[in-house]
Structure 1
Amino acid sequence: MAKPAVTRGRRREAVMDGLVDLFLAEGFLGFNIGDLASRLQCSKSTLYEIAPSKEQLITAVVRAFFKRATARVEAEVAQESDPVARIGTYLDAIARELAPATDEFFANLQQFAPARDLYSENTAIAARRVQGLVREATVPDTPVNAAFVGMVTAQVMESIQRGEMEAMTGLDDATAYHLLADLIVKGIAAQPDRKSR
């Protein structure tokens, strides 16, 4: 028989997963605690165990989304041995994690400062990760400058995060990440020394 603490932990994890999926599908600013409890078929007290207020609950859920996404993205990258392909794998995996997110979710992220800050913080972390992957994939003494590619990638990722990319191109975040991955991978794969190997 499961211990009560273990059962509560599993229930909390299931509720958190449900909240993440609900927020991605419908946003979060339009819900109150009662609405969320009703949609997830749990008590308000279950939600208050996660966080003591709606604002803190939103922050906890958005943080859980990025934590879950990061774990899944890194698991995919760990399966890829080719350094160039690893870049595409990383950015494409990010795109897949963002794909279920609706316009409402992204609009709410921009409207709610703590969530916007989490998105910005995670974008910065991802940009640094891409810079490292680009360095690993770049053949020495070739025209590709890893620092430059990494910085351009970081700027594009920040533009995606701020909503500027969608405003200027009409591309949603997931599509923009896919296209960024394609651009970088094709550019690095075209290095003369790599073609001759």
Structure 2
Amino acid sequence: MSDNTGFATRRRGDLFDALVRLLLSEGFAHLGVAELASALRCSKSTLYTLAASKEQLVVKTVTHFFRTATDQVEARVAQQTDARAKVITYLIAVGDALAPASGAFMTDLHAYEPTRELYERNTEAATVRVGELITAGVATGAFRDVNAAFAADLAASMMTRIQRRDVAVTTGLDDAEAYRQLASILTGGIDARGE
């Protein structure tokens, strides 16, 4: 019985992974459950085992995307020992996680309130994490004795602008590249070696 449970869990995970790839590539507003099932080569009833409606399926898939991305980002940060490398790795990893997201996906993500709220919550969590990494770097002397809360707030402001698509509109940078630029500028500005 546990083998069947394990298989079912893996199957669900595989379906969500496939849905993430599809939605990141094509967006989701224009796709119905029939189109999703066809693209994934499964039945609509299979998709309905994951969620009761297309809307719920989209929300669960986007949640799966952010959960998986967070795990991958934190795994990359855990490999670093230097405070500066941790902040750079974190922000670049966030950018890398968003890199596969097409313009259609980002447009749909922002247009649909439940997924926009998921993105906002994940952006808020990311800003808290950046603040923790900066505080740790100040404590070890890797970063100048800057106000860590201010530096984190500065990062948070830009991350929020990236999330709201303001940066894309004003600079033409996609979200992934904007995070890379933020990593470079932020860590260069607070690096203790720059004093």
TMscore range, shorter length: over 0.9
Matched position secondary structure for 1:101: coil
Q: Distance in 2 between matches of 1:14 and 1:141?
A: 41
Alignment of 1:1-197 (within 5 A): 3-138=3-138, 139=141, 142-189=144-191, 191=192, 194=193
Once the 2 structures are TM-superposed, how far is the Cα of residue 142 of structure 1 from its aligned partner? 4.4
Query: Post-superposition shift, 1:179?
Result: 0.3
SS in 2 for 1:50: coil
Deviations 1:28-56 (A, max 9, x none): 11110010011001111111111100000
Per-residue CA deviations over 1:118-164 (Å, capped at 9, x if unaligned) read 00000000001001111111239945221111101000000000111
Tell me which amino acid in the other structure corresponds to 2:15.
V
Contact 1:51/1:57 (<8 A) preserved: yes
Q: Structure 1: which 5+ runs fail to align? A: none
- Distance, in Å, in 1 between the alignment partners of 2:104 and 2:3 is 39
The answer on whether the counterparts of 1:26 and 1:104 sit within 8 Å (CA) in structure 2 is yes
Would you say the 8 A contact 2:23–2:105 is kept in 1?
yes
**Rounded Cα–Cα distance in structure 1 between residues aligned with 2:24 and 2:49:** 21
5+ residue gaps, structure 2: none
Given that residues 109 and 116 in structure 2 are in contact (C-alpha distance below 8 angstroms), is that contact kept between their aligned partners in structure 1? Answer: yes
Q: Which runs of 4+ in 1 moved over 6 A?
A: none
Once the two structures are TM-superposed, the CA of residue 15 in structure 1 deviates from its matched residue by: 0.8
Please report how far the alpha carbon of residue 84 of structure 1 lies from its aligned counterpart in structure 2 after TM superposition.
1.3
- Counterpart residue identity of residue 31, structure 2: F
Q: What RMSD over aligned residues (CA atoms) do the two structures have, in Å? A: 1.8
Please tell me whether the aligned partners of residues 73 and 90 of structure 1 are also in contact (alpha carbons under 8 angstroms): yes
More displaced 10-residue stretch of structure 1: 156-165 or 142-151: 142-151
Normalising by structure 2, we get a TM-score of 0.94
Q: Deviations over 1:89-113 (max 9, x none)?
A: 0000001100000110100011110
Normalising by the residue count of structure 1, what TM-score does the alignment of the two structures yield?
A: 0.93
Flag the 1:142–1:69 CA change in 2: closer, same or farther, 3 A.
closer
